[in-house]
Amino acid sequence: MGEARAPHVVVVGGGFAGLAAARALDGSRAVVTLIDRRNHHVFQPLLYQVATAALSPADISAPIRAVLRKQDNCQVVMAEVLAVDLQAKQIHVDGGHISYDYLVLAAGATHSYFGHDAWTKIAPGLKSLEDATEMRRRILLAFESAEYEGSDAARRAALTFAVVGGGPTGVELAGAIMEIAGQTIPRDFKHIDTRTTRVILFEGADRLLPPFPPDLSERAKRDLESMGVEVRLNAQVTDITTEGLSIGDEFLPVRNIFWAAGVKASELGRSLGVPLDRAGRVIVGPDLSVPGRPEVFIAGDMAAAKSADTGAAVPGVAQGGLQMGAYAGRIIRAEIDSANGVAREPFIYRDKGTMAVIGKAKAVAQIGSWHFTGFFGWFLWGAVHILFLIGFRNRLQVIFSWFWTWLINARDARLITGAAKIRIEVPRTHHFADRAHRSNSEN
């Protein structure tokens, strides 16, 4: 057996699922190739904190090579996978193809605008570090441009933010934008009062955080409203333009719109030629394999999977990805090590809880039948996220940044990078000069 060719396991995607799959094969006889088009793993649950200037991109990410450095049987390839050929057992990348004995597809998900492609540029979503710095740019530029708007109406529109989608990302974004406007920057601006900023959170269902228990949904809504966020439930966004957004017949002039509503699975699933669900996810068997292809597993946000015990769909959260990836890795490992093949136990999802942060000392968390809110929920949320963050230095950095934010409401990553053009209305500058003069002579 020592002379047999080592089985080649290809893992596509360096997110939670892909990394878990690769790690489950550490020390096995397999040769593992992990492919990602990025060089870094991103800790997605904290992406909104980069978008809202509390953390830097490097704080929540780690080079995939560094994460897998000590795993001798694993190589990392930075490349984009273009298609999968199930028949030939090959994946296609720019430059050629790579053969596999086992394949774990974990290429994740992207935003879905439900067919409204024109909304993409107006209302960006939050999936990558680039998305996060773009969102940060827009949030900070909104205040900069409001400072010099000539008309009250334009100023109000510039100071109005709409977040579409009341899941965890939407709730966290809305809360964080309100904190920036209300606590972090008011003293930075001399002409506008950023505390007049409106943040409106739109959710199509009849409550926020639909996967949470109803009492936590209600608490999240109350907490957000106490911070000044307007929560609109049963609100289907029907149109988005550069001028604002429509809810049926109602039009709201809004300059800043962020998308936290729909996701769809990576396009890679389509190249398999197997049945997909409405969100483009691959409908997998109880062992997460593609029907008729026991050597191909789908894990993470690309998989439409059910937990074998309850029959419930596995949720698109970090825990889902981690558990699916580790499961696929373990199955492959068992089969490689066994000469006669093994029976595959079906995948069971262990719900370790769900949590969402709303603001300073405000969060909702559910762990089993326990519900946590307020300061304790918030503390728990922080502790769990720190624990799961990859890299000891990242953990220290994030703890430090959070402590700082907590202490003095600072958000020190307030960088507008990339092109930014602001047209300023000059009369306001003079108005300031007049005002400053008046206040000087009053002293």
In this complex, which beta carbon is closest to its own copies, that of residue 251 or of residue 402? Answer: 402
What is the token pair recorded at 197?
A: 């900023």
Q: How far is the CB of 182 from its own copies (least distance, A)?
A: 16
- B/e letters for 411-425, b = 16+ CB within 10 Å, e = fewer, are bebbebeeeeeeeee
In this complex, which beta carbon is closest to its own copies, that of residue 33 or of residue 366? Answer: 33
Active site residue 172: yes
In this structure, are residues 324 and 347 in contact, taking their beta carbons and an 8 Å threshold?
yes
# chain residues binding its own copies, by CB under 8 A: 81
Of 260-268, 346-354, 360-368, 407-415, the window that binds its own copies (rule: CB under 8 A) is: 407-415
Is 56 a residue that touches its own copies (CB under 8 A)? Answer: yes
- B/e letters for 300-319, b = 16+ CB within 10 Å, e = fewer, are bbbbbbbbeeeeeebbbbbb
**Phi, psi dihedral angles at 128 (to 5 degrees):** -125, 170
Distance CA 385, CA 226 (A): 25
In this complex, which beta carbon is closest to its own copies, that of residue 352 or of residue 393? Answer: 393
Mask 261-290, x = binds its own copies (CB under 8 A)? Answer: ------------------------------
In this complex, which beta carbon is closest to its own copies, that of residue 375 or of residue 432? Answer: 432
Is 195 a residue that touches its own copies (CB under 8 A)? Answer: no
Distance CA 331, CA 309 (A): 18
Of 248-256, 314-322, 345-353, 426-434, the window that binds its own copies (rule: CB under 8 A) is: 426-434
In this complex, which beta carbon is closest to its own copies, that of residue 185 or of residue 235? Answer: 185
Question: Given 147, 149, 172, 179, which residue is catalytic?
Answer: 172
Distance CA 204, CA 219 (A): 18
SS3 state at 87: coil
Q: How far is the CB of 63 from its own copies (least distance, A)?
A: 4
Helix or strand holding residue 232 (H, E)? strand 230-232
Among 49, 52, 61, 169, which residue sits at the site for its own copies (rule: CB under 8 A)? 61
Distance CA 97, CA 74 (A): 18
Is 386 a residue that touches its own copies (CB under 8 A)? Answer: no
* Among 139, 129, 134, 201, CA closest to 167: 201
Among 17, 20, 24, 62, which residue sits at the site for its own copies (rule: CB under 8 A)? 62
Is 39 a residue that touches its own copies (CB under 8 A)? Answer: yes
Is 93 a residue that touches its own copies (CB under 8 A)? Answer: yes
Q: Pairing between strand 354-359 and 362-367?
A: antiparallel
In this complex, which beta carbon is closest to its own copies, that of residue 380 or of residue 410? Answer: 410
Strands (E), 113-225: 160-164, 198-202
* Among 33, 28, 34, CA closest to 16: 34
Is 98 a residue that touches its own copies (CB under 8 A)? Answer: yes
Residues ≥6 apart with Cβ < 8 Å to 383: none
Q: How far is the CB of 215 from its own copies (least distance, A)?
A: 38
Residues ≥6 apart with Cβ < 8 Å to 399: 386
Is 78 a residue that touches its own copies (CB under 8 A)? Answer: yes
The gap from C-alpha 434 to its chain's centroid, in whole angstroms, comes to 46
What is the token pair recorded at 420?
A: 């930014």
Among 82, 88, 342, 433, which residue sits at the site for its own copies (rule: CB under 8 A)? 433
Is 420 a residue that touches its own copies (CB under 8 A)? Answer: yes
Mask 115-144, x = binds its own copies (CB under 8 A)? Answer: --------------xx--x------x---x
In this complex, which beta carbon is closest to its own copies, that of residue 159 or of residue 303? Answer: 159
Is 338 a residue that touches its own copies (CB under 8 A)? Answer: no
Of 119-127, 210-218, 323-331, 404-412, the window that binds its own copies (rule: CB under 8 A) is: 404-412
Is 421 a residue that touches its own copies (CB under 8 A)? Answer: yes
**Exposed (0-12), middle (13-18) or buried (19+): which is 44, by Cβ within 10 Å?**
buried
Is 336 a residue that touches its own copies (CB under 8 A)? Answer: no
Q: Which residues are known to be catalytic?
A: 172
